[in-house]
Every structure is written in structure tokens, then in C-alpha cells.
Chains A and B, each alone.
Chain A
Amino acid sequence: MTALAALIRRDVSVALRVGGGALIGVLFFLTVVVLMPFAVGPDLALLKKLGPAILWLGALLASLLTLDRLFTADHDDGSLDLIVMSRTPLELACAAKALAHWLAAGLPLVVATPVLGLLLNLDGVATGAVALTLLAGTPALTFTGMIGAALAVVLRRGGLLLSVLVLPLSIPVLIFGVAASNAALSGPSPFGTPFSILCALSLMSLVIGPFAAAASLRHGLD
């Protein structure tokens, strides 16, 4: 247990220090949201209607951007080999690394959402709903993305391949995240149903992600 806690602490502090690049995701998120009005026009009513979709898409792309750092840095300096060979189960180590990555790169996106919601003319309830769905949904993005990150580090050419592999798997999260946000914003349909399914998706990826990532690391690094 202490080994896992140490792993989480180390990963978070490395990500937050100079060269870690965790906050680049937030900057990218901000840039994507700022770009949107230039594409669809500065129509506040339209932006309010598209707001949850824009925020979710921005968060999805931002979390994808930082994902390939999840294993590559450790692979480059050799500490990934130590983690694979250590007595701690690799599945738990993968889960701990993903949790640390989410704390450093996913949680800031949720925190930044209220500010960005202001730019998109979202009112308090809608902003809260989007932030809440992002809080429930970004772990699913991190944990399914981890599978792609593990495959990419095994193949030693991550980047584009990672996004091609991960994006189709994130479609359900996007659908239910935007559905729940829209339900809170305008829809007659209840907020609870898509939100519970979103939570279920996160919990499921919490189970599947570490096993698949550990399997591909164990089979791939030799």
C-alpha cells in the first residue's frame, strides 16, 4: 500500500513540476474553447446551446493530449521496467499511475470548467452540471486512455496511433456526458439517468483499464 501511495505522490509531483506538462492540458482546453466562437460566430445564444458539447469535446481532446506522457516518461528513464518487475501487482501499479495522472491532468480540467463556462454564456446551473459530469466522466477517459497509452509505449511510437485507438472507445462517455449536461441545461429528460450511466462507465473502465494496460505492458516489454 505504501508503495502505491509513494508511486502516486511521485507521479503527481513530477507532473506538476517544471517539465511535467500536466497543466498544458488546461491551457489546451482553454485554447480549444476560445477557438470555438471564431468557428461558429460570437452568437451568445448559439454558444449557450452548444456550450456543454464544446466543453466536453475540449476536455476529451485535452485529456488525450496529455495521455501519452502516462508511460513514456517512465519508459524512457527505465523506471517502468522497475515497476513491471517489482513485487507490487502491475494492475494496481497501473491503476495508481492512472489515478495520479487524473489528479494532475484530469482534475484541473474540472476546476477550469466554471471559468470556461462563463466564456460560453452558461448560467450557474449549467456550468455546475457540466463540471459535475466532467468530474464523473474524466476518470473514464483517463482509464480507457491508459490502455492506448500502454499499447503505444510498447510500440514506441505513440502519438497519433494512440488517438486513433482511444477516440472510438471514448464515444460512450462523450454521449452520456453531453446528454446529462444537456438534460440539466434544457431537456425534459431527467439528469439522473444519463449521469448514473456515466458513473457506471467510469467504474467499469476503472476495472477494465488497469487489467488491459497491465496485460499489454507485461506482454509487450521484453
Chain B
Amino acid sequence: MRETGLESALPALAPATISGAMTLIDLANPSRFLSLAGRILPWLAALTVLVLAVGLYQSATAPDDYQQGATVKIMFIHVPNAWLSMFVWGVMSVAALGTLVWRHPLADVAAKTAAPIGAAFTFLALLTGSLWGRPMWGTYWEWDARLTSVLILFLMYLGLMALWRAVEDPSRAARAAAVLTLVGAINIPIIKFSVDWWNTLHQPASVIRMGGSTLDRAFLIPLLVMAIGFTLLFLTLHIAAMRNEILRRRVRTLQMLQASKSA
């Protein structure tokens, strides 16, 4: 358990004989995951490009808002990023449970590789929000509730990444990061609530509300297509990053084996 790279560098023999119904257990074998990822990735990437192309075309041809003009098109990039910034933490929380409860070897890899991607989405949400705020509110930064809580989420992503980088042994880092991820999953709603209390200036949520959406159909459909496209983009990037991480660990293990042999 301490050096997961060592096990993954060896040819996978034992798990193949007991491959049962549970695909998650099957995937615990990194070699099997690699071959599956290799098969899925091109299709997933193609689908992502297709959906994003349709979404971008629809966003570009969507009508201007009667108040905000063309700047409303920033929304089609901004909102999917903001959704994903929270979705990725959810993915990491599930992976953290996998690490702590089932000691699933791929869960470590999934949690580690999701953090930088989530931080990137959060940063893009902040950046596009700030660019959108300049023409709308007349300032790049407003200390309003949503911007502030997304900024705090960004800080927590950075802290988590710092934690991953602080330890050399990946399985040890995985367990520490898993605890922090779960603590964050409990705390993020509390932080969100308290920041809302702190500043109730921002407009209330308008996409998903009781009694249907207030967003016009002409904006809603491109927005949903873009949200699906960004989610696919995350899945593609995540699987590719997981594959890279597994390969990186194998290379490291082989290098260490070679070094110990020549010594």
C-alpha cells in the first residue's frame, strides 16, 4: 500500500482471474484502467469537441440581452465553469471516500489529478466573472457573496494542491488530502451560507428555482449544451491526466528499481 507504483509496474496477473461483476474493482487494476482509458479517450475527446462546437455556435448566435447587450455571451463560458468548480470538488470527495474507505488505488490518482483541473475551472469562473463585472457593475472586483465564496473555493483548491506537493510518498499524501477534501466538502456549504449572510447584495439564483427557470429559452438551451460540453471536457481531461499520472508513477518506480540495481 505504501508504494503503489511498485504494484502497478508489475504485470497484472492475480486480479484478472477473479474479475467479477463489479467494474470498480476491475478498475483497481491500473493496467486494465489504462487499456480502457485508451479505448474511451478518442471517442470522449471527439464528443467533447462536437458538443462544445455546437454550444459555441449556439452561444454566438444567441440574441443579445435587452439590458446587457452582447456581454451576456460571457455567461455561456462563465456559468459552466462555475458549475464545474463545485462538481470537481464533488468528484474529489467521492474519490476521497474511495481512498479512505476502500483503499482503492485509482481513487488516489483520481483525487490528485482532479485538483489542478478543478482549480483551473474555478480560476476561469473568477476571471470571466470579473471580465463580465467590469461592464455590468463598473468594477472588476466586487465583494459580493458569490464572487467571494468562489474565491474561497479557489483558495481551498490551492491549499489542497499544496498539500499534495508537500509529501513525496503518494499514498501517504493521498490519505492526508482525502481527509482535507472531506472536511472541505462539509465546510464549503457552511462557508457559502455564511458569506451569503455577510453580503446579501447579489441577485438571487435564477437558473434553477422553484417554479421553473426565469432564463429565456434562447439562452437556456445554449447554456445547457455548454454545461454538458464543459462536463465532457472535464471527463476527457481527467481521464487523460489519470493515465499520465499512472504512467508517471510507473516510470518513477522503474527508475528507482534501476537505481537500486546499479547501486
**What residues on A are CB-neighbors of B175 within 8 Å?**
216, 219-220
**What is the chain B residue whose CB lies nearest that of A200?**
B190
A168 with B156, Cβ < 8 A, contacts A155-B163, A208-B183 known: yes
Q: Number of A-B pairs whose CB atoms are under 8 Å?
A: 80
Q: A155-B167, A164-B162 are in contact. Are A172 and B194 (CB under 8 A)?
A: yes
A176 is contacted by which of B156, B158, B184, B194 (Cβ under 8 Å)? B194
Contact with A along B164-194 (1 / 0, CB 8 A): 0011000011011011101110110011011
Residues of A within 8 A of B194 (CB): 171-172, 175-176, 197
* CB <8 Å contact, A219 and B183: no
A169 touches B166 (CB 8 A): no
Contact B163 A172 (CB under 8 A): no
Q: Are B100 and A219 in contact (CB under 8 A)?
A: yes
Bound together, the chains give a CA A150 to CA B198 distance in angstroms of: 30
Which A residues lie within 8 Å of B163 (CB)? 151, 155, 161, 165
| A151 with B198: CB separation less than 8 A | no
Are the C-beta atoms of A215 and B162 separated by less than 8 Å? no
Q: B207 near A: Cβ within 8 Å? A: no
Q: How many chain-A residues does the 8 Å CB contact rule pick out?
A: 28
Q: Name A171's contact: one of B162, B184, B186, B195 (CB within 8 Å).
A: B195
Which partner residue on chain B sits nearest A208 by CB separation?
Answer: B186
How far apart sit A172 and B182, CA to CA, in the bound complex (Å)? 17
A157 within 8 A of B: yes
Chain A residue numbers with a CB within 8 Å of B241 are none
- Rounded to whole angstroms, the CA-CA distance of A171 and B197 in the bound complex is 12
How would residues 187 to 208 of chain A score, 1 for a CB under 8 Å from any chain B CB and 0 otherwise?
0000000100100010010001
Q: How far is the CB of A161 from chain B (nearest CB, A)?
A: 6
Question: Which of B179, B187, B190 contacts A151 (CB under 8 A)?
Answer: B179
Q: How large is the interface on B (under 10, 10 to 19, 20 to 34, 35 or more residues)?
A: 20 to 34
Within 8 Å CB of A169, what residues of B?
183-184, 187, 191
* Cβ contact within 8 Å between A155 and B176: yes
Across-interface contacts of B197 in A (CB, < 8 A): 175-176, 179, 194, 197
Q: Which of B24-83 contact A (CB under 8 A)?
A: none
Cβ of B167: which chain A residues have Cβ within 8 Å of it? 155
Cβ-defined contact, B180 with A220, below 8 A: no
Task: Give CA–CA (A172, B194) in the complex, Å.
Answer: 6
Q: Is A100 an interface residue (CB 8 A)?
A: no
Report yes or no: A164 in contact with B190, Cβ–Cβ below 8 A: no
Nearest Cβ distance between residue A162 and chain B, in whole angstroms? 10
**In whole angstroms, what is the CA distance A222 to B174 when docked?**
14
Q: Does A53 contact B (CB under 8 A)?
A: no
A90 at the interface (CB under 8 A from B): no
Judging by beta carbons under 8 Å apart, are A161 and B162 in contact? yes
Q: Which residues of A contact B166 (CB under 8 A)?
A: 155, 157, 161
Within 8 A of A (CB), among B144-170: 152, 155-156, 158-159, 162-163, 166-167
Instruction: Contact check, A168 vs B155: say whether CB atoms are below 8 A apart.
Output: yes
| Bound Cα distance from A168 to B195, whole angstroms | 12
Known: A165-B159, A168-B152, A171-B191. A179 touches B198 (CB 8 A): yes
A147 contacts partner chain B, Cβ-Cβ < 8 Å: yes
Known: A155-B163, A175-B195, A208-B183. Contact between A219 and B155, CB under 8 A? no
Which residues does chain B contribute within 8 Å of A220, judged by CB atoms? Answer: 172, 175-176
The verdict on A212 contacting chain B, using a C-beta distance below 8 Å, is yes
Cβ B183 vs Cβ A164 within 8 A: no
- The answer to whether A70 has its CB under 8 Å from any CB of chain B is no
A100–B204 alpha-carbon span in the complex (Å): 43
Q: Which residues on the B side are within 8 Å of A164 (C-beta)?
A: 155, 158-159, 162
- Whole-angstrom distance from the CB of B173 to the nearest CB of chain A? 8
Residues of A within 8 A of B179 (CB): 147, 150-151, 212, 215-216, 219
A176-B194, A208-B183 known; A168+B176 contact, CB < 8 A = no
A168 to B172, CA, bound (A): 23
| Given contact pairs A168-B155, A220-B175, A215 touches B100 in the complex (Cβ within 8 A) | yes
Using a CB–CB cutoff of 8 Å, the interface residues on chain A facing chain B are 147, 150-151, 154-155, 157, 161, 164-165, 167-169, 171-172, 175-176, 179, 194, 197, 201, 204, 208, 212, 215-216, 219-220, 222
- Beyond the given pairs A155-B176, A197-B194, 14 more chain A to chain B contacts, judged by CB atoms under 8 angstroms and listed by A's residue number, are A154-B172, A161-B159, A167-B155, A168-B191, A169-B184, A171-B195, A172-B191, A175-B194, A175-B195, A176-B197, A197-B197, A215-B100, A216-B179, A220-B172
